[in-house]
Structure 1
Amino acid sequence: MIEDPRQSLLHDILRGRVSRRELARRAGLAGIGGAAAVSHGNVLPETVIAQDGTPAADHTPTGAITWAIESDPVNLIPYGAVAGANMWGKEPMYDSLLAWDTDLQIIPALAESYEAAADGTSYTFQLREGVVFHDGRPFTSADVVYSLELAMNPPAPGIQLPWFVNVAGVEAVDEMTVTVTMTQEDPTLPGVLAWSRYSPIVPNGIADEINLLSEGIGTGPFRLVEFVPNARVVYTAFEDHWNPGVPCVQDLTLQVLPDEQSRVAALRSGEIDGGTFSPDVVMTLENDDSLEVLSGLTSAPRVIHFNTVNDAPWRDARVRQAINMAVDRQEIIDNVYGGNAELTGPVPPGYGDYPVPAETLADLYATDLEQAQALMAEAGFADGFEVTLQAIAAPRDYTQIAEIVREQLRPLNINVTVEPLEIGTFATNIGEGNFQWASTGRGMRGDPSGYVVDFRNGTALNMAWFGDGWNDDEINQLYDDGLTTTDIEERVAIYREIQQRVIEDAANIYTVQPYKFQVTGSRVTGMYVSYTDFLPGLRVACVTDG
């Protein structure tokens, strides 16, 4: 079959495979303008979606990349961390049993293959032969058993999370075979392992040997050299990595630079080779021929969390619904992201067929201030109330969203105090449920169920965030049903219905999913914006000089 070149180009743009040079060439052949092609979906004109330059299998690591991260990782614990910056910091040194490619297709990693039982209640993994950890010890099934058991019950300061709740046990069948037994049919495990965030494989017994807060030993493409909190994470290439040609560079430094103007100055001076930037700043950089702008949609839906554990006005659905009607998400899209964001529900746009369609979201999020005021009066809160809205201080957009929401709720006589917090304190508060409202983002999930698990009564964070102040029995049943079927159409229908119920009841206030922009110096090739909102591109990114 001959493919329409326009459709082929659009497919590759959305999959992050096209550089500026390749875009211009293929757009010309397809009979469309390059700028028009790239600006699809409100992406800034004249931006590069991805870079060319995957390392060859026989490549020897050379050169160095210094990449700015906008939040401190706080620690490098492999299991149970809440903050996404923890994953930025630890990702280079770890592998999981499975991985995602750039299309979010599950591919082998430390497991060469796996087989699910016919009834979906167990998974058997055949492990990759010849893999070694950074300290030279061989990788075996004992390491997998140990790692997954730690993942299910993380040592402090990690917290128990719901991703492995249906795992009944992990057994080493032989030295290179592991079986994971489930308490019930569960289609989510392969995706959770491919996500990798909570399933790094570490050496058996490592928690008794090193301080996992600041040290780590894995099988990943980079070996940890040092972690200096609020400053840097330094890695060097692990030349015995099992994946030929990975990594491409010899040295990788993640430099913590929360202030965006400091990142801009460091990029222009060559102190850093790349980092993440806001749309407004990108517009000031895009005409610099020494820089490349990368962009893409990521999985990080912005949301205002309500805590209903304690008695509060927002335990009343009418109050929450009034707030939802007063929040103008288009103002957030325009003023915080320069038009470069999409409406989102619990499952963000780009996650297959599971998100609520954009036109449905537009109807559900229609602003109606008069009706909002009527609902507040009906609930007995016409005079409003006071509330503290905690927000992630860096990146700045979480606080900006909180400030806009604060102003939009004044007509409801809701007096919002915005409290920006550094990521360590914020993450601790979120994990412990120590907040009234919180402006945050929900990260990538290995399965659609992961985006809505916290609305299932009885799960760990559900109890910390909602307690007995909010519950939906229909959602509880739908959630359970979604975990007992592998039929994609059934699962799509289930998770869309859950999301619609969450939005209509305003259990939380989902706002937008922004596009992510990264900028690199011209010496960097092979980097891309990952939908995961992590930095897997640094595993394959190269530099053109030593």
Structure 2
Amino acid sequence: MTIRTGRLTRTLAAVAAIGLCSAAAEARDIVWARYGDIDTLDPHKATSTLSLQTWSLIFDTLLATDKDGNPVPNMAESWTVNDAGTEYTFKLHDGITCHDGSPLDATDVKYTVDRAFDDADPSVTKASWGPITSAEVVDPLTVKLTLETPFVALVPFLADSFSSILCDSNEGAEGFGTTTAIGSGPWKLVSWTKGDKITLARNDDYTNFGKLAENKGAPYMDGLVITVVPEPQTRLAALKTGEVDIAEPPFDDVAMLKDSGELDIVVAENTGQNVFWEFAVHRPPFNDKRARQAVGHATDAAAAINLIYGDLSLPEACPVSRGVFGNDQDVCLEYRTNYDPEKARALLAELGYGPDKPLETAMLVWTGGNRQKLAEVFQAQLAEVGIKADIEMMDIGTMNARVRQENETAEGKGSMDMMTWSWYDPDILYALWHSPGAYRGYTTPELDAMLEKTRVLTDPDERKAAVQAVFKVLLEDGIHIPLYTPGWEWVFAVRPEVEGFHVAPFVYPVFNDVKIAED
């Protein structure tokens, strides 16, 4: 049985799987299917890319990035920095409007910064804002940020959606982060049904000052529905029937889809993403660096990703991804625990493990992106040297919470996880490994001091040397064992009638230019 709508022919099975109604299509919405859901609508309360992508649609940022990932003006038409590098003054465009109709001005910027530094409930990315001591409203369109010390990563951070500017009308709003999110971005929140879908409507008052879209006004389409469809083959079926316009296809089918021309394939570039092993280091076995190094020497990331992803991903040697400041494959290969199963076995033997006594650990992996299959390949590689890793799959929000829990637990079986972080600057390493650490994992006073140095050096050569010194510690001690980049295999399959879809650096899908042709 089929249901006819304005532009789609749908099967009842697809409707049940996707959870959309015919009204969405008649409203000329873009339908984007993803494998998982967001954590929250509050940019200060999560770190996942699924959340980040959604914030970029609802909120806007002071700065934006060009096609190469460099910061450019956006909501702020200009900015100045004092000679000491401790005062940043931003001049805002006039006429920016929040989704509730209130003007967005310097008070909203101050509200956002103050909220990020709230002692009682700070942003989870507070460290990435740098040592800001105050946000001052100079006049309605001018705001000044004062820093305790210079912080070279502030400008690129202000182009990222972790620094989304929140309209101050969110303060005290019922359900902010779950049912309410008032921004000034191209799309307004209509509703979020957790685990199902997010419904957005076009912001008719939107002006694009700096984002990577040819369209400088409101999006062309009426709405955007972001729906959760965990199963890859279900997403593909929905793409083929027209129930969904854009989705991550099954990776095993990408080559076939490219050859058939049935769907357009868009592969994200310059993602800034890095997938890596990390460990619960406050209890055995991974409180001993030899156990961590053994995992590194047992892992053949190049073989694994070639088997699962082909040419969609590249093995990564550095703790930050290719294209990020400081990344140098040759330097990192010199320091890291490269594939050497005999060395892995020797290290395990020193720790008392062997054929009759394998090292046992949980391997935490999050769903989507064929990571289940990839984890199984890694599991087999580890088993070859005497490491018994039990794979546990979970959504990203659950995994983030679980990693912290494992780090705060002093007893029990070992734990390691396949983590992914996306960032545009090596300051990501400060967020991960400076005390107290993003997940309360490995930190030392010596590493803290090294990371602090990377934030204040303004000379590029000096900063590069300091960043690579941090790489050396992380890699040699098996604290952060890189696996592959661009990180997630962000491949999008797009219906042929969809025009104008593209992906900006750091995996931000852009829908402002999207038009869907009439049947």
The 2-side partners of 1:358 and 1:516 are apart by 26
State yes or no: 1:429 paired with 2:402. Answer: yes
- Distance in 2, matches of 1:363 and 1:120, equals 33
- The range that moved more, 425-434 or 184-193, is 425-434
Greater CA deviation, 133-142 or 101-110? 101-110
Hey, what does 1:220 align to over in structure 2?
Answer: 185
SS in 2 for 1:202: coil
Deviations 1:415-434 (A, max 9, x none): 21111112332232235546
| In 1, Cα distance between equivalents of 2:336 and 2:280 | 22
1:103 to 2:68 alignment: yes
Which of 306, 321, 337 matches 1:348?
321
C-alpha contact (below 8 Å) 1:92/1:220 kept by paired residues: yes
Paired residues of 2:335 and 2:476 also in contact (CA < 8 A): no
1:472 Cα offset (Å): 7.0
Query: Partner of 1:75: helix, strand, or coil?
Result: coil
**1:428 alignment partner, SS class:** helix
- 1:200 is aligned to 164
- Once the two structures are TM-superposed, the CA of residue 541 in structure 1 deviates from its matched residue by 2.6
- Give the conservation status (yes or no) of the 8 Å contact 2:117–2:123: no
Is the CA contact 1:94–1:201 (under 8 Å) kept in the aligned structure 2? yes
Question: Which of 144, 151, 165 is 2:116 aligned to?
Answer: 151
Q: For 2:273, what is the secondary structure of its paired residue?
A: coil
Output the TM-score relative to the length of structure 1: 0.81
Matched residue type, 1:126: K
Checking the alignment, whether the CA contact within 8 Å between 2:127 and 2:431 is kept in structure 1 is yes
Which residue in 1 is equivalent to 2:19? none
The answer to whether residue 271 in structure 2 is matched with residue 286 in structure 1 is no
Match of 1:538 among 475, 493, 511: 511
Residue 492 (structure 1) shift: 2.1
**How far 1:501 moved relative to its partner?**
2.6
Range moving further from structure 2, 214-223 or 70-79: 70-79
- What does residue 461 of structure 1 align with? 438
Q: Is the 8 A contact 2:233 2:249 kept in 1?
A: no
Q: CA deviation at 1:136?
A: 0.5
Say which SS state the counterpart of residue 314 (structure 1) adopts: coil
Residues 112 and 75 (structure 1), Cα distance of their counterparts in 2 relative to 1, 3 Å cut: same
Secondary structure of 1:511's partner? Answer: strand
Matches within 5 A, 1:68-467: 68-153=33-118, 159=124, 161-196=126-161, 198-212=162-176, 213-243=178-208, 244-297=216-269, 298-309=271-282, 311-344=283-316, 345-351=318-324, 353-357=325-329, 360-361=332-333, 364-382=336-354, 383-397=357-371, 399-432=372-405, 433=407, 436-445=415-424, 447-456=425-434, 458-461=435-438, 464-466=440-442
CA-CA distance at 1:392 after TM superposition:
0.4
**Are residues 539 and 155 of structure 1, via their aligned partners in 2, closer, same or farther at CA, if it must alter by over 3 Å?**
farther
Between the aligned partners of 1:543 and 1:431, the Cα distance in structure 2 is 43
Q: Deviations over 1:128-154 (max 9, x none)?
A: 111110110111211111111122339
The match for 2:3 is none
Identity of aligned residues (%): 25
Q: Distance in 2 between matches of 1:491 and 1:389?
A: 34
**CA, structure 1 residues 381+122, in 2 after alignment: closer, same or farther (shift >3 Å)?**
farther
Q: CA-to-partner distance for each residue in 1:84-139, whole Å, 9 max, x for gaps?
A: 21123332110011111222121222211111111111101111111110110111
What secondary structure, in the 3-state scheme, does the structure 1 residue paired with 2:319 have?
Answer: coil
1:28 alignment counterpart: none
Distance 1:415-1:81 versus aligned 2 partners, 3 A rule: same
Q: CA contact under 8 A between 1:123 and 1:181: conserved in structure 2? A: yes
Name the SS of the counterpart of 1:286 in structure 2: helix
Question: Gaps spanning 5+ residues in structure 2: where?
Answer: 1-26, 209-215, 410-414
Equivalent pair of 2:236/2:250 in contact (CA under 8 Å): no
Instruction: Supply the RMSD in Å over aligned alpha carbons.
Output: 2.4
- Matches of 1:145 and 1:359 in 2, distance apart? 41
Q: TM-score, normalised by structure 2?
A: 0.85
Q: Secondary structure at the match of 1:96?
A: coil
How far apart are the structure 2 equivalents of 1:107 and 1:430? 35
Match of 1:528 in 2: 502
Query: Partners of 1:539 and 1:150 in 2: how far apart?
Result: 29
For 1:136 and 1:154, how far apart are their aligned partners in 2?
Answer: 30
User: Is the partner of 2:72 in helix, strand or coil?
Assistant: strand
3-state SS of paired residue (1:159): coil
Alignment-derived partner of residue 47 in structure 1: none
The 3-state SS of whatever aligns with 2:393 is strand
Distance 2:31 2:427 in 1: 36
Aligned AA (1:450): I
The alpha-carbon deviation at position 395 of structure 1 amounts to 3.5
How many residue pairs get matched?
A: 473
Whether the aligned pair in 1 keeps the contact of 2:49 and 2:422 (CA below 8 Å) is yes
Post-superposition offset of 1:362: 8.2
C-alpha contact 1:342 1:513 (8 A) present in aligned 2? yes
1:508, 1:364 → 2: CA distance?
9
